[in-house]
Structure 1
Amino acid sequence: MKVGVVQMKISNSIENNLIKITNFLEQAKVEEVDLICFPEMALTGYNIQLLKSRVLNDLILSAIDKISQLASKYSICCIIGHPFFEGEKLKNRASVIFPDGRYKKYDKLHPTELEMKIFSEGKDTLVFEYKQKRFGIAICRDQNFYNIFKEYKDNACDGVFVLAAHYYNPKEARWKIDKNRSIPITRAVENEYYVFLANATGAHLNMISLGHSLIVDRNGCIVCEANETEEVLLTAEI
């Protein structure tokens, strides 16, 4: 099975982000990827005006439908980060879109203090199966919580996807690179499964994310890693 993670620049425009997502899905098809993961909030970024819009869900569902059509056309399972309203509560969500049109969802369990001003926390972990493999999902700060990853180990997962958007001021971004690289490696070693980190790169809302998306094997070895600035599809056979 071939798994891919995307590192990409995220803008305030759904249309622009959707173009990039479409291009990466086309590349994934060429490279015969079975399962692909995009960063946290890859579809919208943190556009505050959009996040407060009452038509947000309509815009998200329209974009998700287009992605679903491509997932079906290319026979690729896709994990995409985006916001979504559940009633009056806004969630930081990862949707798993299967080629047969099915969906599963995971909402970020541990938003940051700043995010809590906008988002409500999720309630449950998510285990899904695809092509005889089992996977879990975490979003960004969730990676700090060992119990989430232990639960996925107890559920016999073959790997966990971490969707991230590590936006900080430039100085903080620089000194947090090692931390954000080391945690996926640690989680892989602790639980003896793959960890796939799909991070954003570039500037957004006067902050910056310095990439370093990576794929780590069950022994803690980095199979492949992006640099600080490139927009790239990383892949690995598992």
Structure 2
Amino acid sequence: MKWTVSCLQFDISYGNPSENFKKAESLIEQESRRADVIVLPELWTTGYDLTRLDQLADENGETSVQWLKKTAKRYNVHLVAGSVAVKEGENVYNTMYIADNSGQIVKQYQKAHLFQLMDEHLYLSAGNSDGSFELDGVKCAGLICYDIRFPEWIRKHTSKGANVLFISAEWPLPRLDHWRSLLIARAIENQCFVAACNCTGSNPDNEFAGHSLIIDPWGRILAEGDRTEGAVPAEIDVSESEAVRGTIPVFQDLRRDLY
């Protein structure tokens, strides 16, 4: 199975969902001419406007889901639609939705690890489910930003057979080296593809790194963005993940009696 995967990194309009929906659809329309799978950044509808998320969050995800279903079907593309702030009752979740190219929602994942250093725990609730899903019969996983600092969480997904990790982020510029190193390590140790979409630009408190990455199961960078808006595409052959796992049988050699 070969896919052209494209990460759409863009400068998110702070606290302005209507503007961000327009920008995302415009970028998707352009990129759908070559891409099979498109990945969006974290909290791309609102930006990292944490103090106002309670007012800005999408009630039960209704607007985001309808937009996503319509857009994926219209442009005949699988959409790993980054994440959006979703209000459920009194709680707000950082929620990733995935739609296939027929417009069906195949997964909803709520970010499991909240980044206390930037006060996420004060404005968001943590999710309690994993990010596993399938597209075209390919086992995948969706993860959000801070999740990549937890290798045991990633391994939970790849131990179930995930060959592609899709990651959405609003990763800040001062920790760009961590972003690149962690993603390369996750690809190597899990012998899988990584497609990681970060945002560009800035908000009143942060400057973001961009540098979306697509990495193969050997840890080789297939495509990398810079700090400007735009698409970061690469063709991947998903079968390469299983080939690498056969060459160095890490998963067969796990000591499940010890850990």
TM-score strictly above 0.5: yes
Unmatched 5+ stretches in structure 2? 237-259
Decide whether aligned partners of structure 1 residues 66 and 19 sit closer, same or farther in structure 2, where only a CA change above 3 A counts: same
For residues 157-172 of structure 1, what are the structure 2 equivalents within 5 Å? 157-167=162-172
Q: For the residues of structure 1 that align with 2:234 and 2:153, how far apart are their CA atoms?
A: 24
Indicate the residue corresponding to 1:73 in structure 2: 74
The code of the aligned residue for 2:66 comes to D
Decide whether aligned partners of structure 1 residues 109 and 74 sit closer, same or farther in structure 2, where only a CA change above 3 A counts: same
Indicate the residue corresponding to 1:207 in structure 2: 206
Q: How far off is 1:143 after superposition? A: 0.2
The code of the aligned residue for 2:146 comes to R
Indicate the residue corresponding to 1:146 in structure 2: 151
Q: For the residues of structure 1 that align with 2:191 and 2:179, how far apart are their CA atoms?
A: 19
Q: How far off is 1:204 after superposition? A: 1.0
Match for 1:27 among 30, 45, 48? 30
CA-to-partner distance for each residue in 1:113-158, whole Å, 9 max, x for gaps? 1100000111111211111211101111100001121112111111
Q: How far off is 1:58 after superposition? A: 4.2
For residues 26-175 of structure 1, what are the structure 2 equivalents within 5 Å? 26-31=29-34, 33-48=35-50, 50-53=52-55, 56-58=57-59, 60-80=61-81, 81-103=83-105, 104-113=107-116, 114-167=119-172, 173-174=173-174
Contact map agreement 2:194 2:214 (CA 8 A) in 1: yes
Unmatched 5+ stretches in structure 1? 168-172
State the secondary structure of the residue aligned to 1:162.
strand
Indicate the residue corresponding to 2:234 in structure 1: 236
Q: For the residues of structure 2 that align with 1:86 and 1:141, how far apart are their CA atoms?
A: 22
Between 1:64-73 and 1:214-223, the stretch displaced more is 64-73
Give the 4+ runs in structure 1 shifted more than 4 A: none
The higher radius of gyration belongs to 2
For residues 3-18 of structure 1, what are the structure 2 equivalents within 5 Å? 3-11=5-13, 12-18=15-21
TM-score (norm 2): 0.83
Aligned-pair identity (%) = 28
The code of the aligned residue for 2:202 comes to A
Q: For the residues of structure 1 that align with 2:229 and 2:76, how far apart are their CA atoms?
A: 23
Q: How far off is 1:236 after superposition? A: 1.6
Q: For the residues of structure 2 that align with 1:108 and 1:205, how far apart are their CA atoms?
A: 23
Contact map agreement 2:60 2:87 (CA 8 A) in 1: no
CA-to-partner distance for each residue in 1:56-86, whole Å, 9 max, x for gaps? 3349522431232121011111122101122
Q: For the residues of structure 1 that align with 2:7 and 2:94, how far apart are their CA atoms?
A: 19
State the secondary structure of the residue aligned to 1:202.
coil
Q: How many positions carry a matched residue from both structures? A: 229
Contact map agreement 1:22 1:67 (CA 8 A) in 2: no
